[in-house]
Amino acid sequence: MSVRRVMGTEVEYGISVQGQPSANPMVASSQIVNAYASSTVKARRARWDFEEESPLRDARGFDMARQVADPSQLTDEDLGLANVILTNGARLYVDHAHPEYSSPEVTTPLDVVRWEKAGEQVMLDASRMAAQVPGSTPIVLYKNNTDNKGASYGAHENYLMRRSTPFAEIVRHLTPFFVSRQVVTGAGRVGIGQDGRDTTPERGFQISQRADYFEVEVGLETTLKRPIINTRDEPHADPALYRRLHVILGDANLAEVSIYLKSGTTALVLAMIEDGFVDRDLSVEGAVKALRDVSHDPTLRHLVTLRDGRRLTAVQLQLEYLDLARKYVEDRYGADADEQTVDVLARWESVLTRLERDPMECATELDWVAKLKLLNQYRDRDDLDWDDAKLHLIDLQYADVRPDKGLYHRLAAAGRIERLLDDATIEAAMHDPPADTRAYFRGRCLDKYADSVAAASWDSVIFDLPGRESLQRVPTIDPLRGTRAHVGELIDRSDSAQALVAAITR
């Protein structure tokens, strides 16, 4: 495979009720989701179908017992929190104390960018709609990963993989990649340590918002004892053929190039692992410590020790993967490599070359560099040390989703951050599903037959039809069926859900 595979992202947003620091975040998050649902969802609101979810199944071959699981792991329980399925195939809901947008399934890195950025706009609109409710207090949302008080929340990635790939090989080859990937995908953070208190006047900025919150190399948890490689085995597809790699260590990016390279480079590395192409052992000694040490050194000079004794910088380790990826694409595709695969390789090489020379050369493409440049400008102007509270506020303001307040958005509006997509393309993705995955069927059904859709999930749509004693489940177990090519004409000519289901089950 190339960079093309079934992928998607899930982003929990930071939330703050203005003037009410002790406000209940679950209540505020519900207000966000409910406001958007009330203003945009037609007819009845379809519930989320939890029946096929199995969050305690472990890729290492066992199920965790429910009685020992942390409550945060029981994502298959309907807690009655706000939850809505959007016409673009995405899910908008309350995940514990945060509003979360889970993108629809897509197949290319650029579409990952498109539907994740659409999620930012959904959240922006939701916060504006919530503010219009009489008696409400404005709620501000942030696309970030930490409150700098010890809490971290996720920006997860999902990649469909072949079940036949040994999980041990995934762990072996992906761990070093993840340890070093942050030099391209980090969002940048003011503060060292989980609560940010290890900051000193001279040392206070790190590359990743998430690195300090990881404690083990491999595990099932996502909120406690966070692992570099998560073992949740919940494929949302045929389990005999596929697994879903659930990646939890990534940062919440705003820069489109960072999002693009995050999914594109990871997809390439996974393709090499599936095809047994990785011919060298890049295993890192003490991967958890290495993850943090790399993050704590924005000069990119820290040396990671490999198990074979070599010592490389994170950029050099990424260059090892780039070298393998170039050889892999040439070997498998040659001149027939698709446009996005070629582009990901070129951008990956360009970014790594410039990071090695001078990280500031990437300030128009990568979040952590753009943020560091901005912070240094304030530090120089106002003579600020890293432990100055003003810098924490600037860090937070970078992630504000409001275009007139968020520093990322102001940089982008001024042309100081590179864009890959225009606003119209992103706005259309707020409402339209991807055409080449099952998200198309889910989204079109919710748009055209909203009053007949009782529930839906990643792998089914459930209809409530007149004259039927029971609900009618239409399985969508294959992520690459239910596309516009498969069902577009059928949906177009079916005037009712009853006609659609009759045609499907005929």
Cβ-contact 175, 287 below 8 angstroms: yes
Q: CB within 8 A of 364, min separation 6: which ones?
A: 370, 416, 417, 418
What does the alpha-carbon distance between residue 399 and residue 144 come to, in Å, rounded to a whole number?
Answer: 6
Q: What is the number of other CB atoms lying within 10 angstroms of the CB of residue 46? A: 26
Tell me the sheet residues that pair with 306.
284
One-letter amino acid at 10 equals E
Sign (positive or negative) of CA dihedral 205, 210, 215, 216: negative
Neighbouring C-alpha atoms within 13 Å toward the C-beta of 299: 5
Long-range contacts of the stretch 381-386 (C-beta < 8 A, 24+):
385/201, 385/202, 385/204, 386/190, 386/199, 386/200, 386/201, 386/202, 386/203, 386/204, 386/205
Parallel, antiparallel, or unpaired for β 7-12 and 98-102?
A: antiparallel
Q: Among this protein's residues, is 388 annotated catalytic? A: no
| Token pair for 437 | 């995955």
**DSSP codes of every residue in 325-354:** HHHHHHHHTGGG--HHHHHHHHHHHHHHHH
Active-site hit among 49, 76, 95, 436: 95
Cβ-contact 202, 385 below 8 angstroms: yes
**DSSP codes of every residue in 104-152:** PPBSSHHHHHHHHHHHHHHHHHHHHHHHTSTT---EEEE--SB-SSS-B
Cβ-contact 383, 396 below 8 angstroms: no
Cβ-contact 36, 125 below 8 angstroms: yes
Cβ-contact 143, 399 below 8 angstroms: yes
| Inter-helix orientation angle 109-131/339-357, to 10° | 80
What does the alpha-carbon distance between residue 282 and residue 179 come to, in Å, rounded to a whole number?
Answer: 11
DSSP assignment letter at 452: G
The torsion angles phi and psi of 11, rounded to 5 degrees, stand at -125, 120
What does the alpha-carbon distance between residue 112 and residue 489 come to, in Å, rounded to a whole number?
Answer: 26
Catalytic positions are 95
